[in-house]
Amino acid sequence: MNTQSDARITDTKERYKGGVLKYKQMGYWRPDYEPKDTDFICLFRITPQEGVDPEEAAAAVAGESSTATWTVVWTDLLTAHEDYQAKAYRLDTVPNTGAGTDTEAQYFAYIAYDIALFEEGSIANVTASLIGNVFSFKPLKAARLEDIRIPTAYVKTFKGPPTGIIVERERLDKYGRPLLGATMKPKLGLSGKNYGRVVYEGLSGGLDFTKDDENINSQPFMHWRDRFLFCMEAVNKAQANTGEIKGHYLNITAATMEDMYERAEFARDLGSNIIMVDLVIGWTAIQSISRWSRENDMILHMHRAGHGTYTRQKNHGVSFRVIAKWLRLAGVDHLHAGTAVGKLEGDPMTVQGYYNVCRDSVTKQDLARGIFFDQDWADLNKVMPVASGGIHAGQIHQLLHLFGDDVVLQFGGGTIGHPAGIQAGAIANRVGIEAMVKARNEGKDILNEGPDILRTAAKGCKPLEQALEIWKDVSFNYTSTDTPDFVTTPTAT
Amino acid sequence: MHITQGQFSFLPPLTDDEIRAQVDYAISKGWALSIEWTHDPHPRNVYWEMWGHPMFEIKDGAAIIFDLAACRKACPNAYIKINAFDNTRGVESMVMSYIVNRPDIEPGFHLIRQEAAGRMVRYTTKPYSTDFPVDTKQES
């Protein structure tokens, strides 16, 4: 699509004579560019405004997320500007968009960034560049950061998850099965003492973890110190009842870092093995509390509160796979990554892609799961994904099939809503998981035989029988809004 | 009281055939197998006594069942577990662990609370079994 008029201008005098040039003319569209191993590569899905040349739109994204401003500035000449310019080097039409479809034309724009553009070990800096100005840019109707390849050299500037899957399991002494949790309900209104009762019943029944919900901080009905004290009494009593290590994710999310540190320190002093924060605290706060967690042997649970505002719509925002990659670098140990079968958004293959980003040593390109790039994690700790939201015992075979052992399965309503009580709910889920893991290891086809395996296990376990009965018809079969789009011909990236 | 450590403590006790099936699964994955026993099931007692060395590159699960029988004979009243270990880079840790023997009576734990300043409590979990000391290296 290059014409004489919008081709890259290489003559310095022409290029810097002042005025307004097209982004392509300024050199942000470089189809001949071969990304270096040390480059960041971003894949943006862009929807140009009517009449905007898609190559120019891609060049504009490259420009606005790196060095460009709207007009030519001579001060570029004081810099090694060609290195610092991001380079849009490839443009594909998104399948099933544009002429002859119901969706206006969208394009996958591949853009490479020199590693020198980013401060080492700072997600705040990475995001300020890559999703800073560009998403409000007028010539684009919409833009979405679909995936990112982070150069290994940059990965090594992060410490990553303070604990990681392997060490978490060693601390908990729990291996070879999904961990089992539940979020305390009702999420608002319980006093500290009543809240601790739910924790105690759940953990004594057989849960490994219980959890504060995202909006439990320090409200009038339950101040944070009360919650921490009652919850730790519950945790310790449940440990003594079962001989197992137990934990409760104490949510330390608060207005200021000073408040968060105060709460984290109290959790530590009470002997808690895990704390929790919400995604809404922001990247810098996440990296700070990750560092604190590393210094204090604390598992750090991340609740992805708020992400749906920018991850869910296909045409605009940031894909959750990118958020998951940034969070692994920033350093969290647990991350809510979807259930596929529960009440919250998530196409099964897409969700598996998020899990792989959390758990792989090297993530390979896997277009069907929405993974566009190979990503070497350089031995960074692995993040334990958490499946939470509208799941119940009748889905255990599907969950184990989809996600394997390294996952926390959180049945909140599916534990506390059990007709025979919270302990019964916990027992039902634990028996279901253990029976399913045992059957899988024995070579059974759990996806197909799962319901039979659960029914057989329920013969010796009344609570499981009751759980299967009460929730037997509950499923959440809605169309996913976020599914992978890709060209089936494999392409080198 | 029934200690619920391990993968299968909520299921009926595994038969030897069922144990063999789990052992064969671990072997099919190339994992090393080991047997450990203890009289002190404190949740933070990480180092149970090893019954011999872990078995690396094991071909036949019968070897584990044979060793388990010997361990049970020597320590009938101990907790015994079977572990599988994966030495793949990035794992290099235990990937299975399940109890295969328990004492006839599981005495459980005493939760000791030490009240400290404010409402702070320092918790200690004490196994009753350690009230009756036995040589940890040798079955009484």
Instruction: Using the predicted structure, report yes or no on whether residue B137 has a pLDDT greater than 60.
Output: no
Burial of B91 (0-12, 13-18, 19+ CB in 10 A): middle
**Strand partners for A219:** A222
What whole-number distance in Å separates Cα of residue A433 and Cα of residue A401? 11
What whole-number distance in Å separates Cα of residue B76 and Cα of residue A83? 71
Task: Kindly state the tokens that stand for A446.
Answer: 């759990």
DSSP of A428-444: HHHHHHHHHHHHHHTT-
Q: A97 Cβ partners below 8 Å, 6+ apart?
A: A103, A104, A105, A106
Q: Distance (Å) from the C-alpha of residue A10 to the closest C-alpha of chain B?
A: 48
What integer pLDDT is reported at residue A279 of this predicted model?
A: 98
Here the ipTM equals 0.95
What are the φ and ψ backbone dihedral angles of A153, each rounded to 5 degrees? -60, -35
What integer pLDDT is reported at residue B125 of this predicted model?
A: 96
Query: What pTM was computed for the model?
Result: 0.95
| pLDDT tier at B130, thresholds 50, 70, 90 | confident
CB of A23 within 8 A of CB of A57?
no
The amino acid at residue A295 is E
Question: Which chain B residue's Cα is nearest to A378?
Answer: B90
The amino acid at residue A427 is I
B46 with A173: Cβ contact below 8 A: yes
What Cα–Cα distance (Å) separates residue A368 from each residue in A265, A317, A320, A422?
43, 20, 15, 39
What integer pLDDT is reported at residue A474 of this predicted model?
A: 79
What integer pLDDT is reported at residue A481 of this predicted model?
A: 74
What whole-number distance in Å separates Cα of residue B78 and Cα of residue A26? 76
Size of interface A-B (CB pairs under 8 A): 109
Question: Which chain A residue's Cα is nearest to B45?
Answer: A173
- Per-residue b or e along A242-273, where b marks 16 or more CB atoms closer than 10 Å to that residue's CB: bbbbbbbbbbbbbeeeeebeebbebbbebebb
Rg (CA), chain B: 17
The amino acid at residue A383 is V
What integer pLDDT is reported at residue A1 of this predicted model?
A: 52
| Catalytic residue list contains A17 | no
Spatial CA neighbour of A412 closest among A182, A210, A203, A214: A182
pLDDT digits (tens, 9 = 90+) for A79-119: 999 999 999 999 999 999 999 999 999 999 999 999 999 99
DSSP of chain B: -----SSSTTSSPPPHHHHHHHHHHHHHTT-EEEEEEES---TT---PEESS--B-S---THHHHHHHHHHHHH-TTSEEEEEEEE-STTT-EEEEEEEEE--SS---EEEEEEE-STT-EEEEEEEGGGGS---TTS--
What integer pLDDT is reported at residue A490 of this predicted model?
A: 43
Half-sphere exposure of A164 (CA within 13 A, CB side): 17
Instruction: Encode chain A (493 residues) as per-residue pLDDT tens digits.
Output: 556 578 999 888 888 888 888 999 999 999 999 999 999 999 999 999 999 999 999 999 999 999 888 788 889 899 999 999 999 999 999 999 999 999 999 999 999 999 999 999 999 999 999 998 888 888 899 999 999 999 999 999 999 999 999 999 999 999 999 999 999 989 899 999 999 999 999 999 999 999 999 999 999 999 999 999 999 999 999 999 999 999 999 999 999 999 999 999 999 999 999 999 999 999 999 999 999 999 999 999 999 999 999 999 999 999 999 999 999 999 999 999 998 887 776 789 999 999 999 999 999 999 999 999 999 999 999 999 999 988 999 999 999 999 999 999 999 888 999 999 999 999 999 999 999 999 999 999 999 999 999 999 999 999 999 999 999 887 777 777 778 887 654 443 3
What whole-number distance in Å separates Cα of residue A414 and Cα of residue A328? 29
Q: Which residues of B touch A460 (CB under 8 A)?
A: 12
Q: Other C-beta atoms within 10 Å of B117: how many?
A: 5
Rg (CA), chain A: 25
Give yes or no for A171 touching B (CB within 8 A): no
Give yes or no for B121 touching A (CB within 8 A): yes
- Domains of chain B, CATH where assigned: 16-106 (3.30.190.10)
Question: Which chain B residue's Cα is nearest to A360?
Answer: B90
Q: Which residues of B touch A173 (CB under 8 A)?
A: 5, 43-44, 46, 97
Q: Other C-beta atoms within 10 Å of A362: how many?
A: 11
What integer pLDDT is reported at residue B139 of this predicted model?
A: 52
Give yes or no for B25 touching A (CB within 8 A): yes
Q: Would you call the peptide bond into B54 cis, given omega within 30 degrees of 0 as the criterion?
A: no
What are the φ and ψ backbone dihedral angles of B106, each rounded to 5 degrees? -100, 110
What integer pLDDT is reported at residue A8 of this predicted model?
A: 92
Relative to beta strand B32-38, strand B79-86 is: antiparallel
pLDDT digits (tens, 9 = 90+) for B13-24: 999 999 999 999
What integer pLDDT is reported at residue B138 of this predicted model?
A: 55
| Catalytic residue list contains A307 | no
What integer pLDDT is reported at residue B136 of this predicted model?
A: 54
User: What are the residue ranges of helices labelled H in A120-249?
Assistant: 123-130, 152-155, 164-172, 192-205, 224-242
**What is the three-class DSSP state of A57?**
helix
Question: Which chain B residue's Cα is nearest to A442?
Answer: B21
Residues 44-83 of B with CB under 8 A from A: 44, 46, 83
What whole-number distance in Å separates Cα of residue B59 and Cα of residue B101? 24
Picking from B7, B21, B120, the nearest residue to A434 by CB comes out as B7
Q: Distance (Å) from the C-alpha of residue A148 to the closest C-alpha of chain B?
A: 23
